[in-house]
Every structure is written in structure tokens, then in C-alpha cells.
Homo-oligomer: A and B are copies of this chain.
Amino acid sequence: MTAIPPEVDIREVGPRDGLQIEKPIPTAAKLELIDALAATGVRRIEVTSFVSPRAVPALADAEAVAAQLGRWPHVTFSALVAGLGGVKRALAAGLTRLEYVVSASDGHSRANVGRSSEESIALITPIAELIHRAGGTLEVIVAIAFDCPFDGPTPPDRVADIARRAVLSGADALSVADTIGTATPVRTTDVLTRVRAAAPGVDLGLHLHDTRGQGLANAWAAYASGIRQFDASVGGLGGCPFAPGASGNIATEELVYMFEDGGIATGIDIDRELDAARLAERLLGRSLAGRLLAAGGRPAPAGN
């Protein structure tokens, strides 16, 4: 009898969600970071967005980055799109695993993409068709799944309903995103349970921000409830450089530490992950907010 060790599947989103709010860095610097991330053993990287370069100048070089991804054949790369134009650009650039965001609140949806939530849902069908014709896959990310800065708390059934309709409209996979970092374990588990019931059997990931220090607790609660796919960003990249502590995504190295220390395999080497985080600090010219990054890993056993 051989027990199968538990494992989780972490998607590194630093190059996209982490860098999108930073001052633009050169394409060569991004490729250096992607190279360091690929060396950690991570299997999936969300590498850029095909969106308006005016809206997100930091990711204006999406095509230039995409052109180099053949260097890392063992990594599955994906990109974010916000509409049909972005899908066409991404497919032309050779990226076929695409993510499309639907905000569960109108307030955030309009602020983010200038469309209502319903208008965003209506776009899933043509986006999915375009991607599927090119042999690609579409993941729909339900953003603002817990609270909206404009509209207040998001009804959990609204999130589940969007997930159900996304799958009916052609989504191959789903994610739930705590976009502003207000979720806690009880609500995380509740929303995920409803989404699974609304879209049974569909791949479901969780995208967490650590803005209020709750990120890893939510990840653990989600793991305990059966979730195995998590987004995270190297060094906790993201957030606002002008608001100390207002961090971005949960830090990949802290998520890896949490799982690996408990015997749950991530496929990611923690030391190489810390190297990548230090590289990100050098490339951005500032310290990142990660606590593990500041403290270092667990002390070595005596005698080592």
C-alpha cells in the first residue's frame, strides 16, 4: 500500500497581477524574473495581460514577452484578456490559455472595464468561441467575489450564479477572486462551496490578496474544503508601493512554505522561490512585503 502524497497546484501571477500596478520595467527584466520563476519548479505562470497599454502601461510589452516563452517549455503560460480584441492579440502572440474577468459587482465592473457585470457575462460566449476555435481554453475569474469597494458585500449566490452561467457560456475553468483582500475563512469556504455546487466538476481555483493579513488563513480553509488550485505572487508582489503593508497577492513563498512544511507537495523549491523574490526586489528597486522573505526559512536541523 502506497499512500499518494497530497499536492496542490500553484499558479504564479507575479508577472501579471504583481507587475501591472508597478512603474513599467524593461522586457528584459521581466524575462529575467520569469527565468528565475521557471527555475523554482512552478508549473503555471500567468505571464501578462493583453489589455489597453494606456490602461496598464506596465504590461504594454505583452507581445514581446510572449515571443520569448518558448524558452521554458516545461511551464504552462497563460494571460489575461478583457475583451475580444485582447483575445485576438493573445492568440496571434501564441498564447492560448486565457483568463477573462467578470466582476460580481456593477460598481467594480464599470470602474475596471467600463461595462456592467451583465455586459461582461454576455461577452463570455463570443470570447470562448474565439479561443476554442484556436484550440485554446478559457478560465473565467469571478472577481469581487466577497466585497466591492463601491457596492459593499457581494451576495455569495451572485458569485455562484455567475460561475454557473460562465460554464454554460463556454468557460473551461473557473477562479474565484478576493480582489480587495477582505475575505476570511468562513466566507471563503461558503463561497467556494456554493460555486462548486453551481458548477460541479469544473476546475476551480482561488485568487487571494493579503491586504488584511487573511490570505494564508483563507488558503488553508480552502484547502481543507477541497480546493487544490491557488494563485500567488512572488514576494507578495503587487499592492501599492506608497502604502506600506497594503500588500498584493498572497506571497508564493509563504504559500509554498505552508504546504510543503505540512507534507503537501507544490513542486516548487522554496530556496529558489526566495531567490526569485530577491531578484524581484532588485528589479523593482524596493523591498517587498513578504514576511518569510524578511525572516528567512525554517532554521536548519541541528548539526546541519
A residues apposed to B, CB below 8 Å = 107, 147-153, 180-182, 184-187, 210-214, 216-217, 219-221, 224, 243-247, 251, 254, 257-259, 261-264, 287, 289-295, 297-304
Contact = CB atoms under 8 A, between A and B. Distances in A.
Contacts of A299: 147-149, 152, 180, 182
Contact of A152 (B107, B149, B297, B300): B300
Contacts of A254: 212-214
Contacts of A258: 184-185, 214, 217
A147 B298 contact: yes
A222 B35 CA distance: 38
28 contacts: A147-B298, A149-B299, A150-B302, A180-B299, A181-B295, A182-B261, A182-B298, A184-B257, A185-B220, A210-B213, A211-B291, A211-B295, A212-B291, A212-B292, A213-B257, A214-B216, A214-B254, A216-B216, A217-B217, A217-B258, A220-B221, A243-B295, A244-B287, A244-B294, A245-B287, A245-B290, A246-B291, A289-B291
* Among A180, A262, A304, residue most surrounded by chain B Cβ atoms (within 10 Å): A262
